Structure 1
Amino acid sequence: MTTKGLNMNKSKNKNWMWLTSLPLLALPGAASSQADTSTNGRVLEEVIVTVERRQQSLQDFEGTAVAFSGDQLKILGIQSLTDLSEQTPGVEISNKQGNVEVWIRGIGSSNNTELGDPAAATHLDGVYIPRPAGIGSVFFDIERVEVNVGPQGTLRGRNATAGSVNIVSWEPGLGVLDGTVEFEAGNYDQRMATGMINVPIGDTAAVRLAAYSLDHDSYYNDVGPLELGTAEAADNQGYRAQFLWQPNDNLRVLLAADYVSEEGTGYTGTNFANSLGNGIDPDDIEDPRDVVARGFEPVQDTEHWGVRLKVNYDLGFGEIEYLTSYRDLVYDYSAATPLAPDYPGVFSTLEPLNESLDNWSRFQFITDSESTIHELRFKSPDGERLYYTVGAFYFKEDQKAFLASAGDRGGFFQGAEFNQPDTDAESYSVYGDFTYELTPRSRLTSGLRFTHDEKSRVGVNARYAFALGGFDTNTGNPFGCCMGARVGTEGFEFAGFDRTVYDPDVDGSGEVSSQEFIDFYLDGISRFGERDTLDDIIANGALEGGAANPAACTDTDSTDSLICLEDGTHSFAVPISPDNSITQQDGSMSESFVDWRVRYGYDLSDDILLYGLVATGHKSGGFNDTFKDPEVGTNISPTYDTEKVTMYELGWKTEFDIGSVPARLNGSAFYYDYTDQVFTSILSVEQAIEFNSGQAADPADATPGALVVSFSFNAADSEIYGMQWDGQFQFPYNINLNWTALWLEAEIKDAEDIQDFRFQADVSPDEAVFRPISGNRLPHTPRYQFNAALSQFIATDWGSFDYVLSMGWRDDQFLTIFNSKDFMFPDDPRMRLDDRVEAYWTFDAGVGFTTKNEKLRLEAFVNNIEDEVATAAVIITQFDNTRFFTRPRTYGARLKYFF
């Protein structure tokens, strides 16, 4: 039996071959392929994939999937998972502050907290990745990337209602000693180096080692006077080691380990709230990555590593496979978001400018995830009339999650903290998938999977608000002087998981006193900053009810220390609503569900396949933040139910000749019934209590300083339908054309009113009310999408040339469920609420030359030729319209040596 690694190494010098099947948003195309000879001598490549957990031709797959080879992605300058958005109709992948969100045909999830799970399952070499942060840097020495479209509830399982993404790395090859080294240089001072070596150990074993390094400057530019480093600079490394042992034809053991480090400046996005609030049209902003930065340079520190063991044994009547894996992710990100993009008059809106630039309000995310997987599968032999896969799957994840903010120069908000040191998830399932050949030309497939999911969490949520000030003898007002305080400046550190107190009610009285509130806040700070004043205010100030020093407080210089701390002067730190601002967390959920699929396939001829498919997928329900219900006197964690998607699909796949031109034309029509869709609102605790009890939540109940929570609930049923086509033409002179087109409708059909979380209840109570969303379009669903790629291979006496030109078009789309609606001013909507992405084109190109001895290859690429700035994700809140973008135009050249 030839291994994948051996097959790759034997054909490694024929890099031009992939150009004949370049998919680039079309269904054909992958890393491993075989020739299907046409009558005129030219061929359409047969693409081999493992979308159904066994090898098969993509043209024989009765469903919709997309596959890209690693070389295909590389020659167009594609660096990570998020870049696939521009290459695959129906797939939207974005990086939102380090969280990778995958949306497939409008189904996805933006709940990136420890309570949330993705709706599209990401896999690395078959291993489920629950938190895909840092996964972009595994894009080295990979064979292919497969995207399964539609719910994959039976074979792929957990949280695959949208589909699944599987990144497949090259495995070791037996009996082969070879390797590659590669260097790349490009704009933004990009430097990339990769290397691979495959070493045989006797005839039955082999080791494959691969390494990767990528550095580039920020895609942002600070146009302000501070000239700070800004987001999206990269300093990434990756390593992978694999050992294959195959002592005979029956046993195959693969042990692998990988490590990824990402230490750049992360993803802050650009906050448009300032510019939009001042009447600036986003289209008038020349480059939204030109920003006015403040505070400090963002700092990202991500480490993601794992080990896996896969054992295959051929029993003669079938093959048994055992897969186990352990993965560890630590994602740590600290940043101060830029003040605004660069636009005419921006600095006048930031006055006093020095004070705005010296605002160190900051946030920090920490995700610490440890996950373990065990999967046992039995697969019957191929070629039998009945062939099947049965298996059992177990998943466990232990998480720590921390999110905190510090509000510098604030008079009534000094920060928030969500500290969850123990979040556990556990899932197990059993499944079976059976295909029976009814006749030599027809097949019936049925699959069933039972899943049980559990999740629990303990921790604390807190919002810190102090009324701060100094005594003003001129007015007699104890808070009349110098409102505000400094916190978060140079040297500031949150305690994070080193916090020692999680219950602020230390004396057990049932209420949190002002002193307990302040003590709890201080326990969450590891170190105050060099120019912080809040610590001095707390140390020297009077608590609520304390005596005020009547000495004059005359220092009103608000550009330095915003609080009077002269000798003999008291400042005030009065906690606001201490008992309602800190809530311990203790939530859990447990539920089970069944997924199934039924499919019928019929070969109308040797070159025409027809199929019909019904498949389901579930995404587990969950629980909300814990809060105290005063009517029952106990803490509650309201739950929400499991989402369900049922997909109906009819499709065909055909190959034929148009004259002397081999051609391929595939198509499908689909309909999704999407029920119990979960939406999330931002509510005060008081509002959440009302909503949970079935009342209309009153924004007036959101008192200043009260805890604001993320509240998820089953709000809507939606429907998604459309058609997808793809085709390929193999013209003379080795010219190949691929294309894909998608028509997609996605509408919220029946929904409860949802709180307009673009407004904060304690700031805009008249607008933070529940609004209708029925009839709105689902986010991330351009109605029309199109991609095409033209490629050619040219042989010469010195070697071979190849090139590819690709193009893509995306129709208008929305990025939130509110579809840019302004309920208060429907005829003149405020631009701050704008979440619309206008239609846009993308163009990419790559060219390569391989020497005749096939030892050296030179490539050049341009990605995003027209430098299109497209918004990939958006966060809209009371004070934010923060947008995250696709990559700008990048170009470069690389040299690869084979040995």
Structure 2
Amino acid sequence: MNTATTKVHFASKQLLIAAIALMTCSSLAAQEAESEQDKKDADVERIIVTVERRTQDLQDLAGTAFAFSGEDLKAQGIQDITDIAESIPGLEIGNNQGNVEVWIRGIGSSNNTELGDPAAATHLDGVYIPRPSGIGSAFFDISRVEVNVGPQGTLRGRNATAGSVNIIPWRPALNQWNGSAEVEVGNYNQRSITGALNIPATDNLAFRIAGTKVDHDSYYNDVGPLDLELAEAADNLGLRFQALYEPTDDLSIYLSYDYAREQGTGYTGTNFALPLGLGIDPDDIEDPRDVVGRGFTPIQDTIHDGFKIEVTWDMGKALLEYNGSYRDLIYDYQAATPLSPDFPGVFEALDPLDQAIDDFSRFQFLTDSESIIHELRLLSDDDTSRLTYTAGIFLFNERQQTFLASAGDRGGFFQGAEFNQPNTDTDSFSVYGDATYEFSADTRLTIGLRYTEDTKTRQGVNARYAFALGGFDVNTGNPFGCCMGARVGTEGFAFAGFGRSIYEPDQDGDGAVSDAEFLNFYFDGIAQFGERDTLDDIFANGITPGGADVRPACSDSDVTDSLICNQDGTHSFAVPISPNNSITVQDGRIDNNFVDWRIRIEHDLNNDQLVYGLIATGHKSGGFNDTFSDPTTGLTLAPTYQEESVTLFEFGSKNEFDLGDVPTTFNFSAFYNDYRDQVFTNLLSVEQALEFNSGAPVDPLDATPGALVVSFSFNAADSAIYGMQFDGKFELPYDMNLNWTALWLEAEIEDSQDIQDSRFQADVAPDEAVFQSIDGNRLPRTPRFQLNASLSQVFDISSGTIDYVISAGWRDEQFLTIFNSIDYQNPDNPRRRLDDSVDAYWTVDAGLGYTHGDGALRFEAFANNLFDEVRTAATIITQFDNTRFFTRPRTFGVRMRYTY
């Protein structure tokens, strides 16, 4: 047994001992209080949840979950799903360039491409959301948000290894006229209006219409001379239409349609590479959102909408339920990332500044995801039976188009890259069941089982464009001695995107891509060159052989001397096709099938004390990598990786009692996650990927670097995640409530393969872009200690009521990548550019409300992140980047709501 395994077994043993000790204490406490507690329920406010797809009291749930009402979230200034993480220990949500990444207790996925699937499942109104971009604008008219911790396979249609986040909106109510209208103003010129109306059309038919419009200025500030509107401005619209029809007491039909559109400026993050490279301490940068802008204002246009039908038939002792849905996400984002955060000397470092800010190197993400879900469930509906169950069949289909491209403005040897995948198809079939049997009034056993088949395929093309653009220097005879840097991507530039017509570059089918075919392919991917672009002019003058018919016409007078050098009156611009160019047709496929299960036993010590133990498993489907060519054989391959698995062991107790005269809740759980075959995604050279895929061990000091770099995912490690969670509530005198949750979390990588250090690029730093050991490193996004607490109170005054809530959260230090800021070349003096750590921090939210009279009119004031503690929520570290995305800055405002 190796050292790492011994440590884990020792930790597991200690964990079990602690759990048994705590359960014993709980049992003794139960026996001491039995004479009183068996006769009455402690007077603690009830929280009703549906995390197991049945309505139940949270205190009766034999597992770990969290629930927040929509009103509670608004009172603290929480605006969308990403803000919730500050209120729930163990939950981490980052917005990485518009991609929402959810992690629960260290289990998640940073592969947010079309090839990846989330490990934590997000649901809106009971519908699984495969790509949660844009979901923030559906965050209105919310009844509650529930977070269930741990594998969910035997309960829900789509598998989830980490847990689930469920956003539950209000539904129509029969025979009720009601509604609300709310306006809000705040800092950053925040302006929002939200409304809802419930319409009882007949005794058995009701409609609900709700909508919101939210605008605010950018959280970024351009300190450069362009004064651009930069990232994180909002121009969002959300609408929801619902209908509920109950023609008989046994039949219910629910229909809904929701629409969200975000036209703000998206998320670019801040690249710290320049100041870190100059030795600037990031703590000396006062505001990471004070940046030097370049190019143009980011452009976002996200449309996310969907339909749902839910039919429920009460058959007496069982319910039959059908859920069908269609969702469509179109995510379109174009930006030029800011040059640098503001620091003393930034403009000197960017000299010549006029050229730096006039760099239109841009990127565009364009995704269209259409998903269709059919789910049929049978669930028991007889409260007198000792057996309750649910069984279901789940069909999921997703069709994606994905486009990612960049244009390298002013580049002499790199003019861009393109990933264009018109067909990525995912099909999933699952059958699942979950049953609970009551052995007695106090003891219950739950057994669940699930079988899943997943298939994913993709066709498309990846390309890298690297034309060696230079002019002949008559003084030195150097063919690249002058005039480096063609312009591409300036004002008016547009990629063709999904409008590309050529996906097979070898148009004549001779087995080779000629220069002419390569250029045809390149120009086919450009819908329009920019007003000040010169790359099109260079090619239009026939500097290289072949070419595309779509090249714009250009006369000699249109080509300036600063771009074309003349020798003896002829064009002598050198434009060879670089060996770093590549076009690779993509064709990948993966088929998975696996079985998950759970077993749970729970026992009521009395009416108010529950102990339980459970084991649950979950899998996340495997996948495949980009297709690339083996330079030695000329063959193409798309290496695959297998599914991940998680086995959760959890022991816990839930307790309600009176502490003196104070109704009190005290819960605890001890957990251990056995995380197997964890998938990591790194950037490798083709040569390294081939060596790794061959199955031969890769010497960390002898891995072959190369020029062409690919994204490569593989089953890299096993990990151990364990800890304990405590939570409770005190219902204090004068209607004062104190809620708290504390988490201790350990998360260690063990038995890993050596990992290529993807923070370095193989063709730039071959001595550092090699394989290194990460055994013993901590998993990303796992603060060791976490705490949340909130204090709230309601009291009467002559004209109504006043209430307040103060919520505080603390997160211990954490890492955001698997490398834990380690500098393998300089372990004692690590370079700041490799820093992926986040210091420990507190956040405080506060809300104050006044309700007038009978409750129709209400005024609120709120402050989210009261002390403006801005921390990194996600990061990208590469050879030239240390880009960070941040938690929301301090926001505050007031709102008025009228309810009728």
Task: Provide the TM-score with structure 2 as the length reference.
Answer: 0.92
> CA separation in 1, counterparts of 2:431 and 2:213?
40
Q: Deviations over 1:205-244 (max 9, x none)?
A: 1000001000000000000011011000000000000010
Q: Provide the residue aligned with 1:10 in structure 2.
A: none
> CA separation in 2, counterparts of 1:101 and 1:570?
50
**Matched residue SS, 1:302:** strand
Q: Provide the residue aligned with 2:4 in structure 1.
A: none
> CA separation in 2, counterparts of 1:641 and 1:561?
53
The aligned amino acid for 1:750 is D
Q: Deviations over 1:606-657 (max 9, x none)?
A: 1110000100010000011111235554321110000000000000000000
Counterpart check, 1:817 vs 2:812? no
Q: Provide the residue aligned with 2:255 in structure 1.
A: 255
**Matched residue SS, 2:480:** strand
Q: Provide the residue aligned with 2:147 in structure 1.
A: 147
> CA separation in 1, counterparts of 2:703 and 2:61?
56
Q: Deviations over 1:103-139 (max 9, x none)?
A: 0000100001110111100001111100000001111
Contact 1:862/1:890 (CA < 8 Å) preserved in 2?
A: yes
> CA separation in 2, counterparts of 1:889 and 1:222?
18
The aligned amino acid for 1:534 is L
**Matched residue SS, 1:43:** coil
> CA separation in 2, counterparts of 1:188 and 1:572?
50
Structure 1 residue 158, shift from structure 2 partner: 2.7
Measured at CA, do residues 294 and 376 of structure 1 come closer, stay the same or move farther in structure 2, by a change above 3 Å? Answer: same
The aligned amino acid for 1:576 is S
> CA separation in 2, counterparts of 1:122 and 1:465?
40
Task: Provide the TM-score with structure 1 as the length reference.
Answer: 0.93
Q: Deviations over 1:374-426 (max 9, x none)?
A: 00000012422011000100000000000000011111111100000000000
Measured at CA, do residues 562 and 336 of structure 1 come closer, stay the same or move farther in structure 2, by a change above 3 Å? Answer: farther
Counterpart check, 1:634 vs 2:640? no
Contact 1:544/1:573 (CA < 8 Å) preserved in 2?
A: no
Counterpart check, 1:68 vs 2:68? yes
Q: Deviations over 1:773-797 (max 9, x none)?
A: 0100000000000010000000122
Contact 1:158/1:619 (CA < 8 Å) preserved in 2?
A: no
Measured at CA, do residues 87 and 507 of structure 1 come closer, stay the same or move farther in structure 2, by a change above 3 Å? Answer: same
Contact 2:703/2:770 (CA < 8 Å) preserved in 1?
A: no
**Matched residue SS, 1:114:** coil
Q: Provide the residue aligned with 2:753 in structure 1.
A: 752
> CA separation in 2, counterparts of 1:295 and 1:381?
61
Q: Provide the residue aligned with 1:31 in structure 2.
A: none
Counterpart check, 1:190 vs 2:190? yes
Measured at CA, do residues 330 and 250 of structure 1 come closer, stay the same or move farther in structure 2, by a change above 3 Å? Answer: same
> CA separation in 1, counterparts of 2:631 and 2:340?
42
Q: Provide the residue aligned with 1:485 in structure 2.
A: 486
> CA separation in 1, counterparts of 2:573 and 2:758?
35
Measured at CA, do residues 562 and 163 of structure 1 come closer, stay the same or move farther in structure 2, by a change above 3 Å? Answer: farther
> CA separation in 2, counterparts of 1:852 and 1:816?
53
Contact 1:541/1:570 (CA < 8 Å) preserved in 2?
A: no
Q: Provide the residue aligned with 1:48 in structure 2.
A: 48
> CA separation in 2, counterparts of 1:132 and 1:228?
28
**Matched residue SS, 1:832:** helix
Measured at CA, do residues 757 and 541 of structure 1 come closer, stay the same or move farther in structure 2, by a change above 3 Å? Answer: farther
> CA separation in 2, counterparts of 1:537 and 1:297?
28
Contact 2:293/2:339 (CA < 8 Å) preserved in 1?
A: yes
The aligned amino acid for 1:208 is R
Q: Deviations over 1:558-588 (max 9, x none)?
A: 9x9555489743322211127x611000000
Counterpart check, 1:470 vs 2:471? yes
Q: Provide the residue aligned with 2:3 in structure 1.
A: none
Contact 1:664/1:729 (CA < 8 Å) preserved in 2?
A: yes
Contact 2:411/2:485 (CA < 8 Å) preserved in 1?
A: yes
Q: Provide the residue aligned with 2:511 in structure 1.
A: 510
Alignment of 1:278-677 (within 5 A): 278-383=278-383, 384-540=385-541, 542-543=543-544, 564=565, 568-577=570-579, 581-630=582-631, 632-677=633-678
- Bigger drift between 565-574 and 807-816 goes to 565-574
Measured at CA, do residues 700 and 621 of structure 1 come closer, stay the same or move farther in structure 2, by a change above 3 Å? Answer: closer
CA RMSD of aligned residues (A): 2.0
Q: Deviations over 1:170-205 (max 9, x none)?
A: 000000011110000000000010011001011101
The aligned amino acid for 2:543 is A
Contact 2:41/2:607 (CA < 8 Å) preserved in 1?
A: no
**Matched residue SS, 1:392:** strand
**Matched residue SS, 1:246:** strand
Structure 1 residue 815, shift from structure 2 partner: 0.1
Counterpart check, 1:873 vs 2:866? no
Contact 1:621/1:642 (CA < 8 Å) preserved in 2?
A: yes
Contact 1:415/1:465 (CA < 8 Å) preserved in 2?
A: yes
Contact 2:471/2:479 (CA < 8 Å) preserved in 1?
A: yes
Structure 1 residue 687, shift from structure 2 partner: 2.5
Contact 1:699/1:768 (CA < 8 Å) preserved in 2?
A: no
Q: Provide the residue aligned with 1:5 in structure 2.
A: none
Alignment of 1:218-257 (within 5 A): 218-257=218-257
> CA separation in 1, counterparts of 2:64 and 2:196?
33
Q: Provide the residue aligned with 1:777 in structure 2.
A: 778
> CA separation in 1, counterparts of 2:586 and 2:691?
19
> CA separation in 2, counterparts of 1:106 and 1:468?
46
The aligned amino acid for 2:659 is I
Contact 2:471/2:563 (CA < 8 Å) preserved in 1?
A: no
The aligned amino acid for 2:496 is A
Structure 1 residue 45, shift from structure 2 partner: 1.1
Q: Deviations over 1:823-855 (max 9, x none)?
A: 011111000000000000000100111111321
Alignment of 1:860-899 (within 5 A): 860-899=861-900
The aligned amino acid for 1:338 is P
Measured at CA, do residues 894 and 814 of structure 1 come closer, stay the same or move farther in structure 2, by a change above 3 Å? Answer: same
Q: Provide the residue aligned with 1:277 in structure 2.
A: 277
The aligned amino acid for 1:149 is V
Q: Deviations over 1:222-272 (max 9, x none)?
A: 000110110000000000000100122111100100000000000000000
Structure 1 residue 542, shift from structure 2 partner: 3.0
Contact 2:38/2:607 (CA < 8 Å) preserved in 1?
A: no
Q: Provide the residue aligned with 2:156 in structure 1.
A: 156
> CA separation in 2, counterparts of 1:571 and 1:219?
45
> CA separation in 2, counterparts of 1:535 and 1:260?
38
**Matched residue SS, 1:354:** helix
> CA separation in 2, counterparts of 1:574 and 1:634?
25
> CA separation in 1, counterparts of 2:539 and 2:841?
53
Give ranges in structure 1 of 5+ residues lacking alignment.
Answer: 1-35, 547-554
Q: Deviations over 1:838-888 (max 9, x none)?
A: 000000100111111321000000110100111100000011000000000
Structure 1 residue 538, shift from structure 2 partner: 1.6
> CA separation in 2, counterparts of 1:818 and 1:41?
50
Contact 2:38/2:606 (CA < 8 Å) preserved in 1?
A: no
Q: Provide the residue aligned with 1:738 in structure 2.
A: 739
Q: Provide the residue aligned with 2:9 in structure 1.
A: none
> CA separation in 2, counterparts of 1:382 and 1:70?
31
The aligned amino acid for 1:873 is A
**Matched residue SS, 1:472:** coil
Contact 2:516/2:545 (CA < 8 Å) preserved in 1?
A: no
Q: Provide the residue aligned with 1:839 in structure 2.
A: 840
Alignment of 1:105-116 (within 5 A): 105-116=105-116
Measured at CA, do residues 455 and 40 of structure 1 come closer, stay the same or move farther in structure 2, by a change above 3 Å? Answer: closer
Measured at CA, do residues 647 and 561 of structure 1 come closer, stay the same or move farther in structure 2, by a change above 3 Å? Answer: farther
Counterpart check, 1:793 vs 2:794? yes
Contact 1:328/1:369 (CA < 8 Å) preserved in 2?
A: yes
> CA separation in 2, counterparts of 1:451 and 1:852?
55
